[in-house]
């Protein structure tokens, strides 16, 4: 069977391939949640905004200080933007992120009564929230499978697994949504992110250590056995 979305004409074969991949990842990682640490829903949203072009590890180092200095959403909304910038400087693009965080908090208070919206349309009206961010928020806070989060790891590994030949994140998301059952959407992105950070990095693919080593069409072990 020639697995891989871009070369696959038989829809049943694609779905079987996906099912095998997902079950193996589920066995490896189980039920997963975002690595970003938070206590309140609005704090998670801010952490996601900070995670743009920054590692979750670095965000988790910054947010405790940020939320200690500004312990409520009101205090962040009213904080001098320069003070926010100082705390989040190490996450990169700090000026734009500080502006978005302050505006996000202010808008959430004034227009949404401090409640995070439960649909993409409303979330996209909030400062600093794009489609990927909105998907992350809905999936983590409400467990709503609104779409598939396509970050750099998902973008790369979807291609490695032969699930897409696209390079644009929105087109990749569409490809994945077409072949993945909706019940897989939330966990699948996180599974690929965890694999991408550990054994299948951009610098090196450690196929021998990967739980998908006998399944992945790009596995060096599979190529050697032929």
The span from the CA of 140 to the CA of 115, in Å, is: 15
119: left (phi over 0), alpha (psi -120 to 50) or beta: beta
With DSSP H G I counted as helix, E B as strand and the rest as coil, what are the percentages for the chain, rounded to 5?
65, 0, 35
- Give the H/E segment covering residue 115: none
102 labelled catalytic = no
Q: Which of 69, 86, 114, 151 is catalytic?
A: 151
151 labelled catalytic = yes
- The C-alpha torsion from 184 through 128 and 49 to 175, rounded to 10°, is 30
Instruction: Give φ, ψ of 100 to 5 degrees.
Output: -70, -40
Q: Where are the beta strands (DSSP E) in 25-152?
A: none
Q: Which of 132, 155, 159, 213 is catalytic?
A: 132
Task: Catalogue the active-site residues.
Answer: 132, 151
């Amino acid at each position: 069977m020639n697995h891989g979305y871009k070369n696959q004409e038989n829809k049943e074969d694609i779905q079987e391939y996906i099912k095998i991949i997902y079950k193996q990842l589920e066995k490896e990682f189980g039920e997963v949640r975002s690595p970003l640490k938070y206590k309140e829903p609005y704090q998670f949203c801010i952490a996601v905004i900070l995670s743009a072009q920054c590692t979750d590890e670095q965000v988790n180092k910054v947010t405790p200080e940020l939320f200690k200095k500004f312990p409520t959403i009101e205090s962040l909304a009213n904080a001098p933007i320069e003070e926010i910038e100082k705390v989040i400087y190490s996450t990169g693009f700090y000026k734009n992120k500080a502006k978005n965080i302050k505006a996000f908090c202010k808008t959430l208070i004034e227009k949404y009564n401090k409640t995070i919206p439960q649909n993409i349309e409303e979330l996209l009206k909030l400062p600093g929230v794009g489609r990927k961010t909105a998907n992350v928020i809905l999936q983590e806070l409400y467990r709503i499978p609104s779409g598939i989060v396509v970050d750099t790891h998902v973008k790369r590994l979807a291609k490695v697994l032969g699930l897409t030949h696209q390079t644009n994140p929105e087109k990749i998301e569409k490809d994945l949504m077409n072949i993945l059952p909706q019940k897989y959407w939330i966990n699948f992105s996180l599974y690929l992110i965890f694999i991408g950070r550990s054994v299948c990095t951009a610098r090196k693919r450690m196929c021998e250590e990967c739980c998908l080593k006998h399944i992945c069409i790009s596995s060096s072990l599979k190529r050697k056995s032929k």
